[in-house]
Amino acid sequence: TVADDLDGIYEAIKENALLSKFAGGLGNDWTQVRALGARIKGTNGQSQGVVPFLKVVNDTAVAVNQGGKRKGAVCAYLETWHLDIEEFLDLRKNTGDDRRRTHDMNTCNWIPDLFMKRVMEGGDWTLFSPSDVPDLHDLFGRDFEEAYVAYEAAAARGAIKLYKTVQASSLWRKMLTMLFETGHPWITFKDPCNIRSPQQHVGVVHSSNLCTEITLNTNEDEIAVCNLGSVNLPAHLYPQGHELAGQINHDKLRATVNTAMRMLDNVIDVNYYAVAKARNANLKHRPVGMGIMGFQDCLHQLRTPYASEAAVEFADRSMEAVCYYAYWASTELAEERGRYASYKGSLWDCGILPQDTLELLREERGGYVEVDTSSSLDWEVLRRRIEQYGMRNSNCIAIAPTATISNIIGVSACIEPTYQNIFVKSNLSGEFTVINDYLVADLKQLGLWDEVMIADMKYFDGSLAKIDRIPNELRSLYATAFEVEPSWLIEAASRRQKWIDQAQSLNIYMAGVSGRKLDETYKLAWVRGLKTTYYLRALGATSAEKSTGRAGALNAVAVGETQGTQFCSIDNPECEACQ
């Protein structure tokens, strides 16, 4: 959280540099900084707003390369009522005044529920300078709504001079347009992150991190830090040939999670902290972020397409198990090592578990929450254990992108669908050809794996949709990310989110992008209770060139023609700061 004065602003930039030096991925909350045109009392001048300082942050990220290996990675967050929000949306554009552009920095919308309700209901939205409405930054839910409406009334009667009223739907459209054109700012939701936070008794979640899976409190004395790790989920399914093949091996999963939670808790004590505020926060609250990887591999083993109710159900049951064992492990650590310092008054202390907070969210919103609430494990036993022993960690679960470690292990990244069935991945270690081993095994069994098939798969960018000799069943099972409707990604994420005490790094893949489809997708994410989303990945127009070539025509036929619409090209962006 960046303070609204020069000392605070440049202190934050210095802290960014120090954290980035040691390979930290950063998220900054800039909502407190006054808007363009706001009065500066000390000089009786006018503020230049947030944007010029974000340019400095951008250049600092370039200058301080992470560990000497690559440029720094930082994301700036701004709440939707900030008067500079419209210029903030333009930061990644390639046109306009380059002094007010940040080409190397990520940006993210931090959206209150009231704005989404105004969008749904066709209302107006008022933009303010935080210097005129200083308490909005620390409010959420009904408290935010009451204060915001009061400020709107004050502006209407002339008590607040610097403000602007826009149609909520128009601002929402611009958000989606910029997301489509530039890939930024991402869409995240302030109120679910706070209302469902176990730590709302000691502060406010003002932003997420670089990859949108961390939702921890920040203030002038604390920089949120979270140590991450991920469970290799397909390694915890019973293997083929076992009588329970494809089902979760709960004994093995519980043992793995217990070990992982103990190790992550140990890291808190032995870690190096470049900034004192980060050390203070981490030792006080002891949050960790254990996630999963290889979700798509599990679906392949289960012979389940990602775009199916069975996949959504598996997302629910598997995440329930991981979270159950993680929270249980934290209670065991609390029994052994003691509760974390700020436990008293937390939702854990009040007997409220993450899935219970969906009802709190529904009450605060006044509706607009449509989430499945089914469960399969005995949560009452865990609830009683937490009541007796408490928790060692304020937060336990966060699903990070795992772009690097999943590659090392040889499984699909976190909760991602298959990007392509064959593609070349580049990172600091070099270039690697990644191929879907499950598909290769199936094609070999059918006698279809040959040089022609390899050529066709390369030609069609790893997609099977236009290779006619592959059976429809396999085309469905091995559909690539852009062939899966984004609603399926959100439905699966919604089932996971009900169990998770932080958030998940959720990319949205979309082919054939339209304004209506974007609108429906991100509104669905809000109604399904998601806290955050990450990149919008859309197909590049370059694939249209292949329609004039001859390669791949040996055994491929077209299955419907696609329109050559130009999309923003976000070709497999990866975040190594989050594993």
Q: Per-residue pLDDT tens for 102-128? A: 998 999 999 999 999 999 999 999 999
Cβ neighbors of 11 (< 8 A, separation 6 or more) are: 3
Beta partners for residue 46, in sequence order: 39
The answer to whether the CB of 228 falls within 8 A of the CB of 398 is: yes
pLDDT at 326: 98
Q: 571 in the Ramachandran plot: left (φ > 0), alpha (ψ -120 to 50) or beta? A: beta
Residue in 109, 209, 282, 393 annotated catalytic: 209
> What average pLDDT does this structure show over 1-17?
91
For residues 453 and 464, give the distance between their C-alpha atoms in angstroms, rounded to a whole number. Answer: 10
pLDDT at 66: 57
For residues 486 and 510, give the distance between their C-alpha atoms in angstroms, rounded to a whole number. Answer: 6
For residues 407 and 485, give the distance between their C-alpha atoms in angstroms, rounded to a whole number. Answer: 25
- Write the DSSP symbol of residue 204: -
For residues 534 and 563, give the distance between their C-alpha atoms in angstroms, rounded to a whole number. Answer: 26
Tell whether the model's pLDDT for residue 558 goes beyond 80.
no
The answer to whether the CB of 56 falls within 8 A of the CB of 13 is: yes
Tell whether the model's pLDDT for residue 417 goes beyond 90.
yes
Tell whether the model's pLDDT for residue 545 goes beyond 60.
no
pLDDT at 554: 45
The answer to whether the CB of 529 falls within 8 A of the CB of 403 is: no
For residues 122 and 138, give the distance between their C-alpha atoms in angstroms, rounded to a whole number. Answer: 26
How crowded is residue 50: how many other Cβ atoms within 10 Å of its Cβ? 29
Based on the residue annotation, tell me whether 209 is a catalytic residue of this protein: yes
Tell whether the model's pLDDT for residue 540 goes beyond 80.
no
pLDDT at 44: 84
pLDDT at 479: 96
The answer to whether the CB of 503 falls within 8 A of the CB of 212 is: yes
How crowded is residue 284: how many other Cβ atoms within 10 Å of its Cβ? 15
Tell whether the model's pLDDT for residue 570 goes beyond 70.
no
- Write the DSSP symbol of residue 239: P
Q: At what angle do helices 357-365 and 113-121 cross, to 10 degrees?
A: 50
The answer to whether the CB of 73 falls within 8 A of the CB of 577 is: yes
Residue with tokens 């739907």: 169
- Taking every pair of Cα atoms in the chain, the longest distance, rounded to a whole number of angstroms, is 79
Lowest pLDDT segment from 140-154, 192-206, 236-250? 236-250
pLDDT at 548: 36
Domains of the chain by range and CATH? Answer: 6-196 (3.20.70.20), 227-404 (3.20.70.20), 420-478 (no CATH)
- Extract the tokens encoding 503: 């958030």
Of 567, 230, 182, give the one whose Cα is nearest residue 396.
230
For residues 344 and 347, give the distance between their C-alpha atoms in angstroms, rounded to a whole number. Answer: 9
Name the residue with higher pLDDT: 316 or 550. 316
46 in helix, strand or coil? Answer: strand
- Extract the tokens encoding 549: 């070539």
Of 163, 161, 123, 170, give the one whose Cα is nearest residue 145.
123
- Extract the tokens encoding 403: 């772009």
The answer to whether the CB of 520 falls within 8 A of the CB of 176 is: no
Cβ neighbors of 109 (< 8 A, separation 6 or more) are: 77, 78, 80, 85, 89, 175, 185, 186, 187, 188
Lowest pLDDT segment from 255-264, 330-339, 425-434, 490-499? 425-434
The answer to whether the CB of 271 falls within 8 A of the CB of 282 is: yes
pLDDT at 70: 62
Residue in 75, 193, 211, 568 annotated catalytic: 211
For residues 402 and 129, give the distance between their C-alpha atoms in angstroms, rounded to a whole number. Answer: 38
The answer to whether the CB of 217 falls within 8 A of the CB of 197 is: yes
pLDDT at 23: 67
Cα-to-chain-centroid distance, residue 301: 26
Pairing of strands 163-167, 124-128: antiparallel
Q: What is the mean pLDDT of the chain?
A: 90
pLDDT at 32: 95
Q: What is the pLDDT of residues 347-404, one digit of tens each?
A: 999 999 999 999 999 999 999 999 999 999 999 999 999 999 999 999 999 999 988 8
User: What is the tally of helices (H) and strands (E) in the chain?
Assistant: 19, 14
Of 56, 58, 59, 73, give the one whose Cα is nearest residue 21.
73
How crowded is residue 510: how many other Cβ atoms within 10 Å of its Cβ? 21
Cα-to-chain-centroid distance, residue 4: 27
> What average pLDDT does this structure show over 560-564?
38
For residues 565 and 541, give the distance between their C-alpha atoms in angstroms, rounded to a whole number. Answer: 7
For residues 457 and 556, give the distance between their C-alpha atoms in angstroms, rounded to a whole number. Answer: 10
pLDDT at 566: 36
What's the pLDDT band for 25 if we cut at 50, 70, 90? confident
Tell whether the model's pLDDT for residue 542 goes beyond 60.
no
Beta partners for residue 93, in sequence order: none
Question: pTM of the prediction?
Answer: 0.92
For residues 7 and 18, give the distance between their C-alpha atoms in angstroms, rounded to a whole number. Answer: 16
Provide the sign of the torsion angle of the four alpha carbons 311, 309, 352, 188, taken in this order.
positive
Residue with tokens 């989050």: 578
The answer to whether the CB of 524 falls within 8 A of the CB of 555 is: no
Tell whether the model's pLDDT for residue 99 goes beyond 50.
yes
HSE on the CB side for 370, CA within 13 Å? 8
What are the helix (H) ranges across 271-340?
276-285, 295-302, 309-337
Pairing of strands 106-111, 186-189: parallel
Residue in 15, 213, 222, 320 annotated catalytic: 213
Of 201, 229, 206, 227, give the one whose Cα is nearest residue 217.
206
pLDDT at 274: 87
pLDDT at 43: 85
> What average pLDDT does this structure show over 53-78?
82
* Strands, sheet with 25-29, edge to edge from the N-terminal-most edge strand: 25-29, 73-79, 106-111, 186-189
pLDDT at 396: 98
> What average pLDDT does this structure show over 206-234?
94
pLDDT at 155: 97
Share of the chain above pLDDT 70, in %: 92
The answer to whether the CB of 562 falls within 8 A of the CB of 176 is: no
